[in-house]
Structure 1
């Protein structure tokens, strides 16, 4: 098919007899054609070094990994990894040995052939089942392109999808003029009964009015948003915890922490504390202190209490650990019923540091609107900040109003 033609935009056409129009000077050539006008196509295949993979031909070293041995070439491995360049150069005393033994974890040894094949071909298939050991090997031997690609795959496997919850509405006619009914979501502070909401059932009218400030006779209402977090379960919980314990990549650990929080949130809401009670102390404190651990504070208090009671150190009177854990709970975010239950808890009464935080939370609930400047300055920091959902894309709930004459409409 001949190439398409195009006339210069600056040309002033004189009509059908124009010589320039009949012999255009500007030609749009086919895609991938060179300046000579000759067509060409791209072609790619495995590099010649692929034929040398694990072949004794011209190999100068043998790598022993577990029970397997691989014929390798110093030049190829050194070109792809600075670590291999040092190992196979003159810096290591074993460099002159005909065989170099590498100590790898069993899961890394199982896919070491794929890792080596990447050096010879530049191609590799990364699946979710092998991405963690590949990431470990790429990090250990400083293979940066493979390392960066594994980070992307792992992040994708740790995604947490956040959606706004759209519960069935209820009709409230208590404070409305005749003929106008306001539809209020079930997860609003005055009607919520779900443990997944950040507001539990409460008669605390101060909390309710603070959460829904704009209720007027026009029938509009401010909805307290509630979100459902659906975490990807690509990796088992044990592996996610292992990633948080041993991985040094901030992008991966951040994604893993949020994934673990979202998955454990479901369990602790149902008071299933099996995995939670086995958490390492440092990881537990990291989660409780995280402002993105989007969970009801009273639920977190009960979970923290379960973890403390499960630990043998608690029975030996480790008051410092009890205080450190309970101090991470944000008591000002609880309602009155929850604060009353916490205040009467024996574990709470045995911890003076946590009791002090609780008393300050009660003062905050009572005097936050009339407090002096020194109190307002004291009521700053994570303890007095609600935990937030970490998500940029979410579906917002819609406020609805029912009018007896006009029917259902948005507000």
Structure 2
């Protein structure tokens, strides 16, 4: 395309290579004397500078005042370009003033937002990345939106691992993000996973009663809700109690998400004996199915009857095993399974001498020494060596204890639901 100067003389098109010369971009081998190079634009030196300033930015009635340049602001943000085009200067002002109303937290980081427009660089930090993201969204500065989005996602992803000691957002902020619907689906999904992983902390915090019904319901449905089922039931009833929930349908929609087969049998007995769910037929049926599960779960013919989400164990995240985990590891079922695995392992290692195997009599941590001794005594070589090397005495088997998990106030939960059943009983008909 030919271009013309006011004098009518032709000048070469600066966007095109010289005539009869192929275009060579940066990074490609140089084949001719023509080469195209490009430098990233940066107006950092003009940030809040008097030089070429043609507009004043006043944030929150003069809380912060910046000297700006219409061309740069309009180039980086179409929203600001529209606002600047509609701006008119008065006779008493040498430069027009663009008044901006921002939330207090956003005004405190407006300088960082404006600096990014001029320089393309910004320091991100968890303490102010969310208001910075809000400014980027408001004025549609897409590169800054992407940087903030990536940084927020990284923080949330690190928070999912509860063993990670890194600091992140508070639970209040994460709940606000999830309930606000102002962020992308990816960020909301990460917030949901964080709240599931930190359910114990959330359910005992001051924020828990302030959570929306939708958030509580969503958390109770999740397979990754990080708490024992008794804690989940107690937390749900405490939330309903503090919010004085009286709508039968909303109460039932929460209670059906409790996985009753995972509760202790004594808890189920208490719930069924007192008729806690008599006015909630769907929940009452779940409790009865849970009772049948505890009665017949060991019957092979009944296994197909106990399938579905109600019988699916939730994922429990722990940084280290607690006493309940130790009881589970020492349960008869686990010991039996471990002994069978060890027996198969011994039978498969035909190249090993039985004497070598006996030389190191320490069993795996999960297998009790008595079970280990019984397996070894099946070896003929052991019977021969026993006369020379007596077997060490076996420690007594520790009784398996299955107490009701801690932190469960079944009476409080049952009483609330029972009172709710009475109050909503007439409406159910």
The residue correspondences of 1:7-18 to structure 2 (distance < 5 A) are none
Q: Which one of 32, 56, 63 corresponds to residue 57 of structure 2?
A: 63
C-alpha contact 2:136 2:142 (8 A) present in aligned 1: yes
Give 1:279 deviation, angstroms: 1.8
TM-score normalised over the length of structure 1:
0.60
TM-score normalised over the length of structure 2:
0.57
Match of 1:217 in 2: none
C-alpha contact 1:161 1:231 (8 A) present in aligned 2: no
* Distance in 2, Cα, partners of 1:266 & 1:345: 31
Give 1:367 deviation, angstroms: 5.3
C-alpha contact 1:60 1:73 (8 A) present in aligned 2: yes
Q: Compute the RMSD of aligned alpha carbons.
A: 3.8
C-alpha contact 1:160 1:258 (8 A) present in aligned 2: no
Match of 1:218 in 2: none
The residue correspondences of 1:11-90 to structure 2 (distance < 5 A) are 49-66=43-60, 67-89=63-85
- Stretches of structure 1 that go unaligned for 5 or more consecutive residues are 1-31, 37-43, 163-227, 392-396
Q: Higher helix share goes to which structure?
A: 2
Aligned length: 290
Q: Higher strand share goes to which structure?
A: 1
Q: Which one of 212, 228, 246 corresponds to residue 296 of structure 1?
A: 228
* Distance in 2, Cα, partners of 1:343 & 1:274: 31
* Distance in 1, Cα, partners of 2:267 & 2:164: 27
Match of 1:260 in 2: 195
- Identify if the C-alpha distance between structure 1 residues 328 and 50 changes in structure 2 by more than 3 Å, giving closer, same or farther: same
Match of 2:288 in 1: 359
Match of 2:159 in 1: 160
C-alpha contact 1:231 1:263 (8 A) present in aligned 2: no
Give 1:335 deviation, angstroms: 4.0
Give 1:82 deviation, angstroms: 3.1
The residue correspondences of 1:158-307 to structure 2 (distance < 5 A) are 158=156, 159-160=158-159, 162=161, 232-246=166-180, 247-266=182-201, 268=203, 272=204, 274-307=206-239
1:310-361 CA-to-partner distances (Å, cap 9, x unmatched) read 112x3xx422221121112122333423322443567544533321222233
Query: Per the alignment, in what secondary structure is the counterpart of residue 198 of structure 2?
Result: helix
- Identify if the C-alpha distance between structure 1 residues 345 and 310 changes in structure 2 by more than 3 Å, giving closer, same or farther: farther
Match of 2:261 in 1: 332
Match of 1:370 in 2: 301
C-alpha contact 1:77 1:84 (8 A) present in aligned 2: yes
- Identify if the C-alpha distance between structure 1 residues 360 and 273 changes in structure 2 by more than 3 Å, giving closer, same or farther: farther
The residue correspondences of 1:85-104 to structure 2 (distance < 5 A) are 85-89=81-85, 94-96=86-88, 98-104=96-102
- Identify if the C-alpha distance between structure 1 residues 255 and 340 changes in structure 2 by more than 3 Å, giving closer, same or farther: same
Query: Per the alignment, in what secondary structure is the counterpart of residue 290 of structure 2?
Result: helix
Match of 2:132 in 1: 134
